[in-house]
């Protein structure tokens, strides 16, 4: 559905998507701030174990949800110049991302932002824009570091930030830990080539494997798991090719592709196949890829026709 909506690169639809997504992210983040700082009675509903979950059931879903609008704002600032409103919104959303205390979301943002910057730099039409991208990247990195330092001055943030920054958490190791669960899931996958079906792994073993690719094999069997992995891989390869094509919607495609790339890596530590924005990013990448390849093919046909028209004269 999403691929069909954006297959022609309609600028009006893309602008609606941008505005609606940013507004939704602002509402969710404002709810998260109200919960974290206890701004009113009952605001704790927006927290999960002292971490901001906002309007989502889990901080590990809320954090990744913010990355696509953050990339849209980042790309806009790099390509269109500094705007105070966009800077303020970006800082507001980035603070919400930090307060989710989701290690996966933090790494996801780092991977996606780096990918977006590299794609922008590679496709920049002139040296002036490349310098702007480079300088803004350095400035944005320093600003984010400064924001983290400011937040760590708050006692409620400092302790939780230090705890969540550890690479290995207690629930990652030992019996019942994340790595133990994944070893168990691997054995189950090898023993059940046709899969177990939805929710059966949890019903039988009382635990989750926290890996979306293992989830594909556990639920749908070897064929279904391979199909899901292939879908992700082909999307990454095809989307990269299209993101390098100069089009009016290139910024949207770079943002969607970079966000999907980070989410694909995060899938190794969490189940992402039930996140609604995952399918938005997937469909947006495919839709704009189709639009880019169609535009490229159309331009090539025009060039060939022009050459044929000139041939008899020459």
Q: Is residue 120 part of a domain?
A: yes
Match 């694909």 to its residue by tokens: 264
User: CB atoms < 10 A from the CB of 173, how many?
Assistant: 12
Q: Is residue 178 part of a domain?
A: no
Q: What is the pTM of this model?
A: 0.88
Q: Which residue has the higher pLDDT, 17 or 314?
A: 17
CA–CA separation, 231 vs 62, rounded Å?
24
The domain total for the chain is 1
CA–CA separation, 200 vs 157, rounded Å?
38
Q: Is residue 243 part of a domain?
A: yes
Q: Is residue 149 part of a domain?
A: yes
Least confident of 64-68, 121-125, 149-153: 149-153
**For 274-284, what is each residue's pLDDT tens digit?**
899 999 999 99
DSSP conformation class of 46: G
> SS3 of 47, please?
strand
Q: Is residue 196 part of a domain?
A: no
CA–CA separation, 223 vs 243, rounded Å?
30
In a 13 Å sphere around the CA of 266, the CA atoms on its Cβ side amount to 29
CA–CA separation, 197 vs 143, rounded Å?
47
Give the domain range for residue 87.
Answer: 2-167+211-310
Is 54 in contact with 267 (CB distance < 8 Å)? no
Q: Is residue 132 part of a domain?
A: yes
**For 183-233, what is each residue's pLDDT tens digit?**
888 888 999 999 998 888 888 887 777 889 999 999 999 999 999 999 999
CA–CA separation, 128 vs 141, rounded Å?
20
Q: What radius of gyration do the chain's Cα atoms show?
A: 22
For position 112, what pLDDT does the model report? 96
**For 42-83, what is each residue's pLDDT tens digit?**
999 999 988 999 999 999 999 999 999 999 999 999 988 778
Q: What share of the chain is helix, strand, coil (3-state, %, to 5)?
A: 75, 0, 25
Which residues is 51 bridged to in the sheet?
A: 48
């Amino acid at each position: 559905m999403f691929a069909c909506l954006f297959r022609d690169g309609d600028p009006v639809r893309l602008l609606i998507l941008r505005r609606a997504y940013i507004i939704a992210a602002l509402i969710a983040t404002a709810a998260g701030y109200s919960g974290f700082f206890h701004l009113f009675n009952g605001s704790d509903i927006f927290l999960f174990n002292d971490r901001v979950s906002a309007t989502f059931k889990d901080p590990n879903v809320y954090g990744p949800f913010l990355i696509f609008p953050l990339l849209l704002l980042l790309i806009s600032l790099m390509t269109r110049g500094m705007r105070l409103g966009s800077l303020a919104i970006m800082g507001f959303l980035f603070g919400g991302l930090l307060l989710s205390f989701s290690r996966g979301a933090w790494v996801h943002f780092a991977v996606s932002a780096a990918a977006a910057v590299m794609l922008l730099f590679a496709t920049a039409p002139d040296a002036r824009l490349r310098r702007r991208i480079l300088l803004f990247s350095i400035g944005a990195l320093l600003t984010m570091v400064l924001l983290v330092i400011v937040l760590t001055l708050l006692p409620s943030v400092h302790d939780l930030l230090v705890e969540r920054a550890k690479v290995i958490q207690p629930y990652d190791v030992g019996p019942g830990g994340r790595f133990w669960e994944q070893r168990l899931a691997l054995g189950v996958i090898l023993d059940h080539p046709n899969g177990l079906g939805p929710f059966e792994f949890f019903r039988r073993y009382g635990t989750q494997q926290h890996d979306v690719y293992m989830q594909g094999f556990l639920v749908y069997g070897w064929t279904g798991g391979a199909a899901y992995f292939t879908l992700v891989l082909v999307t990454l390869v095809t989307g990269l090719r299209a993101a390098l094509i100069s089009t009016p919607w290139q910024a949207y495609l770079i943002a969607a592709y970079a966000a999907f790339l980070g989410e694909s890596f995060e899938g190794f530590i969490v189940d992402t196949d039930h996140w609604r924005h995952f399918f938005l990013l997937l469909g947006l990448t495919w839709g704009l890829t189709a639009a880019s390849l169609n535009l490229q093919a159309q331009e090539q046909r025009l060039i060939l026709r022009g050459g044929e028209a000139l041939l008899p004269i020459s």
